[in-house]
Chain A
Amino acid sequence: GAGVSQSPSNKVTEKGKDVELRCDPISGHTALYWYRQSLGQGLEFLIYFQGNSAPDKSGLPSDRFSAERTGGSVSTLTIQRTQQEDSAVYLCASSPEGRRMNTEAFFGQGTRLTVV
């Protein structure tokens, strides 16, 4: 596809379980971003990748959250021992060259995570 693809689109999980959220960026995009959006709230920055490395992990809420990116392409956000407050829409975005200021970011449709 031509856009950023996220899977699954919806995920319901039990409290305490681990979940993995996947992001397929647009081919050739070197920068990849993860955000979290709770119901009715703004976007909370989690982490971004430049290639396979993550220069800034400061937005990850706790050590239960981790992310990796392989081959400069697909990224996985993992949440361990999920809690109800983790329920939110998780959004992924990519941009062609992260260090160039004149590039736009393209967002996926998000994964809606519900922890019950």
Chain B
Amino acid sequence: DAKTTQPNSMESNEEEPVHLPCNHSTISGTDYIHWYRQLPSQGPEYVIHGLTSNVNNRMASLAIAEDRKSSTLILHRATLRDAAVYYCILRAFNTDKLIFGTGTRLQVFP
């Protein structure tokens, strides 16, 4: 399984943009990049995913490097409710497995 590397923790102030990086240098051509987040005492929830092109949805944006060896989850205006652990995951083409790494714990300050 291709692995991802994320910083253990990041901090942001409320209403500021947040850029959460993820390195995945061993990504294969058919791996999709998925992001999930886990709020305290809850199960993970889907945030966004992409293959090659940048993606936007109501929650966030996903910027994917041209060589696909890294990606960045962008929260345009952080709120206190965005405080969570954010997981960057490569979804393997032939196994459907979702393998979670250690994630980035995001703290948001008022």
Contacts and interface: CB of A to CB of B under 8 A. Distances in A.
Most buried by A among B32, B42, B43, B103: B43
Interface string B23-50: 0000000101010100000111110010
Q: A interface, how many residues as a size bin? A: 20 to 34
A110 interface: yes
A4 B32 CA distance: 24
B21 to A, nearest CB: 17
Interface stretch (B12-20, B74-82, B94-102): B94-102
B93 interface: yes
Contact of B43 (A48, A101, A107): A107
Nearest to A49: B96
Nearest to A107: B43
Nearest to B38: A43
A110 B42 CA distance: 8
B43 A109 contact: yes
Contact of A43 (B34, B45, B93, B100): B100
- Chain B, interface SS category: loop
Interface in B62-110: 85, 87, 91, 93, 95-103
Interface stretch (A10-18, A64-72, A91-99): A91-99
Contact of B101 (A42, A98, A110): A42
Contacts of B96: 31, 48, 50, 55, 98-99
A98 to B, nearest CB: 4
A42 B102 CA distance: 5
Given A106-B46, A107-B45, A109-B43, A56 B95 contact: yes
Contacts of B43: 4, 91, 93, 107-110
Interface of B: 30, 32, 34, 36, 42-46, 49, 51, 85, 87, 91, 93, 95-103
